[in-house]
Amino acid sequence: MSAGAVGRAYPRLEGREKVTGAARYAVEYPVDDVSYGWAVPAAVVRGRITRVDAAPALALPGVLAVVHHGNAARLAPGSDRELWLLQEPVVHYRGQFVAVVVATSLEAAREGARLVGIDYDAGPHSTVLTSDHPGLYRPDHVNPSYPTDTAEGDFDAGYAAAPVRMDATYRTPAYHNNPMEPHATTAQWRDGRLLVHDSNQGASSVQATLADLFELPSESVRVIAEHVGGGFGSKGYAKAAVVLAALAARQVDRPVRLALTRQQLFGPIGYRTPTIQRVRLAADTDGRLTAICHDAISQTSTLHEFAEQTAVYTRSMYAAPHRRTTHRLVRLDVPTPFWMRAPGECPGAYALESAMDELATAVGMDPVELRVRNDAEVDPDQGQPFTSRNLVACLREGARRFGWADRDPTPRARRDGRWLIGTGVAGSSYPARARPSSAAATARADGGFLVRINATDIGTGARTAMWQVAADALGVPPERVEIRIGDSDLPVAPVAGGSMGTSSWSWAVVRACEALREKLRNAPDGVPADGEVTAEVSTEEEVGGQPMLPRYAYGAQFVEVRVDVDTGEVRVNRMLGVFAAGRVVNPTTARSQLIGGMTMGISMALHEEGVLDERYGDWVNHDLATYHITGCADVERIEAHWIDEQDAELNPAGVKGIGEIGIVGAAAAIANAVHHATGVRIRELPIRLDKLLGLSALA
């Protein structure tokens, strides 16, 4: 029978290790004979390397090697050219890694990196995304495999015929993931085998990538990621650090620790592309949408195509007979953008949920009621009923908890001294997906169980959640279960990303535990008489055979802001999110994750901005003093709630994933609240002080 661990608030299993400093991250393992790698970034945007002068660096005591395109081990081309590092004398963007200095100390490696002389033959560059860039093109698909454009009905005719129309363009800047632990690796070669302790979101995929690049059988590569200091998408696949560390370790024939510097995280490991989004909405006079169009523009690099699925959110969120979405891309001389928490949905929801607020104003309707009126039971995109859709329940519950009912919709109607007060709301949605995974469960004669799966805990609480799921699936108290994750020697599992870690991994864990119980059916007390019994499963067939249905989590975000009438300073008084995300495995870690996503939404709306210098061809603010992220003093009152939701069409654990939905819609709710407070509509994030200056003159 179920031991009932799922749904209970357990503290994190590794909590003690994390608060005592015992938890080891990627470059913290004791290693004999270790050396240090320091990456050298290109100092031009685009061009050819004409000379590498390693002599000044090599002359430093302690420097062992300068690894560059002229002497590095050859890599197979692989599928991501960002990872084909130190292979050619060509620079594709400023900051691309062109060398690594290896030394016996960090100090020598760092100084050596400064002394490597590199001459370039630099060419002209294009690094600024514009809506009329001559290089705009239509990609074949958008991340990960959505159609580029969609159309239903006749948008142009529907839009032209409607009594209420709104047409606005929203812009978001480049955002940088900035996990607290940089991308970091300890690499060791032994007898042709590669062992890396690496900071990533999926050791199985990093193992596969390294095997490809170094042309090794996958069993010759082991990737360990026991504790990972955050990723937020940027560590979703193998990135530069692990490749550079492996190359460097091969060169000097001894172990290498290599951590990127904070500055080096701004670009080469991916970032959220800037977007330019035009949204057009048409409605009848009672607020029912008749036409929706979302045209999104973003950037990619000359090395690899990454097409942010910015308008995909709009395809399934609200119903209307006439609909169109498009994506266009420009290849710029920039690093390749990549995943950052809710790629696509996050910037897309900022635009659409802002536009819905503008439409509410245009039709004179409450923005909660407008969303309720345009709710959809059938997925407007796929034409099938949603497996569960509790957007309205989230909006209603959020409105009740927040105290939305008495809201005066008039902008700039509330004031408290110098502060203008306003409230805003936004919808939120994120797909509930699952990928195939494998897992193994072992029963021991002493009554204990061991569950093994190469899941990754990047701070989500995955280790604890899988332990709870395993206990229930085995029908034993969790104290009898040991869980092991974060090592490519364990059964292969997909990345912690796309909010599908818990759904994918728990599926395999449940099936492995069921298979083990079946094996032990005739054993007394379900325990082997002696030795061990193991069951290992893969969900490849079962997940692959799941019917394609529209599965989504939903949410509603409510925000109250205050805006200083003189300085334009925006403060978030309170933020409240209500989510419908299937079953919640662990309320403690779930709440933390949702609050974390919402807070990153505050950061997106008010604090973060990659500021590009066109002449320099790079962001000028690439550290945490100049690229601001939300800090402790910025978060005054924040609450995450969820509604009870059962959905039998998901996965055995009934979960939808909660890693990303917390950020979706958050920035729009803040921008909408700022509009309510001030009467000023900011359509270009972040909402900086200077964009609100002059408020007192408006009074």
What are the backbone dihedrals phi and psi of residue 30, each rounded to the nearest 5 degrees, phi first?
-65, 130
Distance between CA atoms of residues 129 and 106, nearest Å:
38
Q: How far is the CB of 400 from other proteins (least distance, A)?
A: 21
Q: How far is the CB of 244 from other proteins (least distance, A)?
A: 17
The single residue of 181, 226, 609, 660 carrying the catalytic annotation is 660
Q: Specify the residue, 358 or 660, whose C-beta has the smaller distance to other proteins.
A: 660
Q: How far is the CB of 584 from other proteins (least distance, A)?
A: 14
Q: Specify the residue, 61 or 192, whose C-beta has the smaller distance to other proteins.
A: 61
Q: Specify the residue, 73 or 638, whose C-beta has the smaller distance to other proteins.
A: 638
What are the backbone dihedrals phi and psi of residue 565, each rounded to the nearest 5 degrees, phi first?
-70, -25
Angle in degrees, 0-180, between the axes of helices 666-678 and 345-363, rounded to the nearest 10: 30
Strands 322-332 and 150-152: antiparallel
Counted residue by residue, the chain has a size of 699
Contact (CB, 8 A) for 296 and 146: no
Distance between CA atoms of residues 222 and 355, nearest Å:
48
Strands 256-259 and 117-122: unpaired
Q: Specify the residue, 61 or 531, whose C-beta has the smaller distance to other proteins.
A: 61
Q: Specify the residue, 546 or 592, whose C-beta has the smaller distance to other proteins.
A: 592
How many CA atoms, within 13 angstroms, populate the side-chain half-sphere of residue 201? 24
Q: What is the dihedral of CA 644, 649, 652, 657, to 10 degrees?
A: -60
Residue 660 annotated as catalytic? yes
Q: Specify the residue, 35 or 251, whose C-beta has the smaller distance to other proteins.
A: 35
Q: Specify the residue, 10 or 313, whose C-beta has the smaller distance to other proteins.
A: 10
Q: How far is the CB of 175 from other proteins (least distance, A)?
A: 12
Q: How far is the CB of 201 from other proteins (least distance, A)?
A: 11
Q: Among residues 544, 546, 572, 543, which one has the least CA distance to residue 558?
A: 572
Q: How far is the CB of 601 from other proteins (least distance, A)?
A: 10
- Whole-number CA gyration radius for the chain: 26
Q: Specify the residue, 180 or 445, whose C-beta has the smaller distance to other proteins.
A: 180
Q: Specify the residue, 236 or 491, whose C-beta has the smaller distance to other proteins.
A: 236
What are the backbone dihedrals phi and psi of residue 299, each rounded to the nearest 5 degrees, phi first?
-120, 160
Q: How far is the CB of 390 from other proteins (least distance, A)?
A: 25
Greatest Cα pair distance, the chain, in angstroms, is: 83
Q: Specify the residue, 1 or 625, whose C-beta has the smaller distance to other proteins.
A: 625
User: 187 pairs with which residues across the strands?
Assistant: 196, 256
Q: What is the SS3 assignment for 514? A: helix
CB proximity list for 59: less than 8 A, separation 6 or greater: none
Q: How far is the CB of 362 from other proteins (least distance, A)?
A: 34
Distance between CA atoms of residues 666 and 555, nearest Å:
10
Q: Specify the residue, 351 or 600, whose C-beta has the smaller distance to other proteins.
A: 600
Q: How far is the CB of 149 from other proteins (least distance, A)?
A: 35
Reading phi first (left if > 0) and then psi (alpha if -120 to 50, else beta), residue 13 is in: alpha
What are the backbone dihedrals phi and psi of residue 683, each rounded to the nearest 5 degrees, phi first?
-110, 10
Strands 570-580 and 638-642: parallel
Q: Is the peptide bond before 144 cis (omega within 30 degrees of 0)?
A: yes
CB proximity list for 19: less than 8 A, separation 6 or greater: none
Q: Among residues 699, 568, 565, 580, which one has the least CA distance to residue 640?
A: 580
Distances (CA, A) of 2 to 57, 123, 648, 657: 63, 66, 18, 22
Q: How far is the CB of 596 from other proteins (least distance, A)?
A: 4
Give helix then strand counts, H and E, for the chain: 16, 28
CB proximity list for 393: less than 8 A, separation 6 or greater: 580, 643
Distance between CA atoms of residues 120 and 628, nearest Å:
32
Distances (CA, A) of 419 to 633, 659, 696: 18, 33, 11
CB proximity list for 83: less than 8 A, separation 6 or greater: 75, 209, 213, 238, 239, 240, 243
Q: How far is the CB of 323 from other proteins (least distance, A)?
A: 35
Q: How far is the CB of 269 from other proteins (least distance, A)?
A: 14
Element (H, E) at 158: helix 155-161
Distance between CA atoms of residues 699 and 697, nearest Å:
5
Where do contacts with other proteins occur on this chain (CB under 8 A)? 11-12, 14-25, 28, 30-31, 33-34, 60-62, 103-108, 111, 178-182, 227-230, 232, 259, 261-262, 458-461, 588-589, 591-593, 595-596, 598-600, 623-625, 629-633, 635-638
Distance between CA atoms of residues 565 and 484, nearest Å:
54
Q: Specify the residue, 202 or 526, whose C-beta has the smaller distance to other proteins.
A: 202
Q: Which residues form the catalytic set?
A: 660
